């Protein structure tokens, strides 16, 4: 469990956020069965690729699987740079996370030291990352949070090469270029009879309480109930970006490669009470001064665990079993 997401451990008392599940209209999701998933993953790799929100979903998946395993069942956790691997030894099954917050190469690729004043992206370069996950059997991508700025400093060339060309590019255009690089790599390198591909839609934030009718200047801090308005949408998500993702996925489909878009956005929009707020530890515990100013220091981006990412994984679980029977030879 990541301390950044362990809200109960760091003092959160209201725990109802742990107990909600998602009930879609007109269908019932299958119950999550960790043993069935491990059997599906026997001799295989499930790899999450993306940012800290995708890492939170990976943590959720590892917890859902590991807590169902007998205490005598051997398992391991190995960290190797950008790649973290949980392995269930008896199944030779691995559930992995690879840090690539912009999918393509950037100056934020260090899994620890990545908070830089000037974010630079190589929108046409992905091989450094992709060689670590191309042979996986199930790939789960996301990339949204790190793009949320008006322009991206985009590099044509290599880091450290004096001949490189840097240009500020409108964010949506740079995002589109990165998605094309990602899609082109998948088309050429993915084994279509072996690998299932998924893309997780954007995870909404709840940083402005006035969006759901509370006082301006407040955020998700002290929220204990969901938003009850049907089809509520705040300003913490960018539909234009998801349209770019849909366009890239549709283009891949026209080239004979299927990527399933798992839409977690709307169900997560309601969950203003599901964030860590001040009940967390990232690198260090929050100071008393920081705790006293939740409007400035509350984390209303990530999600407590147990919590919302468990619901995302129930959807992913359903798609893995449904898609594999129709599209992919496992």
- In order along its 330 residues, the chain shows pLDDT tens digits of 788 899 999 999 999 999 999 998 888 999 999 999 999 999 999 999 999 999 999 999 999 999 989 889 999 999 999 999 999 999 999 999 999 999 999 999 998 877 777 899 999 999 999 999 999 999 999 999 999 999 999 999 988 777 889 999 999 999 999 999 999 999 999 999 999 999 999 999 999 999 999 999 999 999 999 999 999 999 988 999 999 999 999 999 999 999 999 999 999 999 999 999 989 876 677 677 777 677 778 999 999 999 999 999 999 999 999 865 444 333
Question: CA-to-CA distance for 104 and 147, rounded, in angstroms?
Answer: 12
- E strand segments, 23-133: 45-50, 75-80, 83-88, 93-99, 105-106, 120-122
Question: CA-to-CA distance for 132 and 150, rounded, in angstroms?
Answer: 30
Q: What was the pLDDT predicted at 323?
A: 67
Instruction: Quickly count: other Cβ atoms within 10 Å of residue 290's Cβ.
Output: 13
Report the largest interatomic distance among the alpha carbons of the chain, rounded to a whole angstrom: 58
How far from 270 is each of 16, 27, 182, 205, CA to CA, in Å?
14, 20, 31, 10
Which H helix or E strand runs over 251? helix 239-254
Q: Which residues are part of the catalytic machinery?
A: 52, 299, 302
Question: CA-to-CA distance for 176 and 261, rounded, in angstroms?
Answer: 16
Question: Which SS3 state, helix, strand or coil, does residue 281 take?
Answer: strand
Q: What was the pLDDT predicted at 296?
A: 73
Domains and CATH numbers, the chain: 31-202+237-262 (3.40.50)
Phi-psi region of 28 (alpha: psi -120 to 50; beta: other; left: phi over 0): beta
Look up tokens 């594999």; give the residue.
Answer: 324
Which H helix or E strand runs over 177? helix 171-189
Query: What are 217's two structure tokens?
Result: 């200047």
pTM of the model: 0.94
Question: CA-to-CA distance for 160 and 107, rounded, in angstroms?
Answer: 11
C-alpha triplet 11, 61, 88: angle, nearest 5°: 120
Burial 208-224 (b: 16+ CB within 10 A, else e): bbebbeeeeebbbbebe
Which H helix or E strand runs over 269? helix 265-269
3-state helix, strand, coil in the chain (%, to 5): 30, 20, 50
Look up tokens 């395993």; give the residue.
Answer: 69
Q: What was the pLDDT predicted at 283?
A: 64
Q: What was the pLDDT predicted at 324?
A: 52
Task: Decide if 58 contacts 45 (C-beta within 8 A).
Answer: no
CB-count burial class (<10 Å; 0-12, 13-18, 19+) for 289: exposed
Question: CA-to-CA distance for 210 and 214, rounded, in angstroms?
Answer: 5
Q: Is the peptide bond before 258 cis (omega within 30 degrees of 0)?
A: no
Q: What was the pLDDT predicted at 112?
A: 83
- E strand segments, 104-150: 105-106, 120-122, 138-141
Task: Decide if 5 contacts 302 (C-beta within 8 A).
Answer: yes
């Amino acid at each position: 469990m990541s301390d950044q997401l362990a809200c109960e451990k760091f003092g959160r008392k209201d725990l109802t956020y742990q107990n909600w599940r998602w009930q879609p209209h007109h269908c019932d999701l299958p119950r999550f069965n960790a043993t069935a998933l491990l059997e599906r993953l026997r001799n295989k790799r499930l790899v999450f690729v993306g940012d800290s929100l995708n890492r939170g979903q990976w943590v959720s998946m590892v917890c859902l699987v590991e807590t169902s395993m007998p205490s005598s069942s051997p398992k391991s956790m190995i960290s190797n740079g950008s790649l973290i691997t949980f392995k269930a030894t008896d199944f030779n099954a691995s559930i992995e996370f690879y840090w690539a917050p912009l999918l393509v190469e950037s100056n934020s690729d260090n899994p620890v030291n990545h908070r830089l004043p000037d974010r630079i992206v190589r929108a046409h370069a992905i091989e450094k990352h992709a060689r670590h996950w191309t042979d996986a059997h199930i790939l789960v991508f996301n990339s949204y949070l790190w793009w949320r700025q008006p322009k991206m400093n985009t590099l044509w060339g290599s880091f450290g090469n004096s001949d490189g060309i840097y240009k500020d590019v409108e964010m949506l255009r740079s995002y589109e270029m990165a998605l094309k690089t990602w899609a082109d790599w998948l088309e050429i390198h993915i084994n279509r009879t072996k690998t299932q591909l998924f893309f997780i839609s954007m995870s909404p934030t709840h940083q402005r309480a006035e969006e759901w009718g509370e006082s301006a200047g407040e955020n998700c801090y002290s929220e204990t109930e969901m938003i009850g308005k049907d089809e509520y949408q705040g300003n913490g998500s960018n539909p234009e970006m998801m349209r770019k993702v849909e366009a890239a996925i549709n283009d891949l489909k026209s080239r004979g490669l299927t990527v399933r878009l798992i839409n977690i956005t709307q169900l997560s929009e309601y969950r203003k009470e599901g964030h860590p707020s001040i009940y967390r530890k990232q690198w260090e515990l929050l100071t008393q001064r920081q705790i006293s100013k939740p409007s400035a220091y509350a984390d209303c981006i990530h999600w407590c665990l147990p919590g919302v990412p468990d619901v995302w994984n129930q959807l992913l679980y359903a798609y893995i079993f449904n898609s594999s029977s129709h599209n992919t030879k496992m």
